[in-house]
Amino acid sequence: MKTIIQNSTNCSKYLFADDKQVNMKETHIEIGDPSALDVIIADMNSGNATLIENVIEPDDWYGCKYNYINGAWELCHDWVDPRVKIETTET
């Protein structure tokens, strides 16, 4: 697998299979075959992000749940699962 991390936080924003083409550009990141891109990541680029290859995916990986630091995954201390409904009490 390969991950794209945000340089300022080491937060793993994206995770891709080894065979997925990732092109880090000065203004954006391109995902997929350049002749027919799958995705363009507009808010990340070669200046504010790093592509790390040959990582082993955590079983419960989810975008922004983990930081990747010195070759190891670390759970983000302030991560909140966006798939879980937060109960609120109205008064």
Return the domain boundaries, the chain.
2-75
Give the pLDDT confidence of 64-80 residue by residue, as tens digits.
999 999 999 999 998 99
φ, ψ of residue 73 to 5 degrees: the values are -85, 135
Q: Does the model's pTM come out above 0.85?
A: yes
* C-alpha to C-alpha distance for 13 and 10, rounded to whole angstroms: 9
Place of tokens 């080894």: 18
pLDDT band at residue 85 using 50, 70 and 90 as cut-offs: confident
**CA dist 59 to 28, 49, 56, 66, 77, Å?**
28, 23, 9, 12, 18
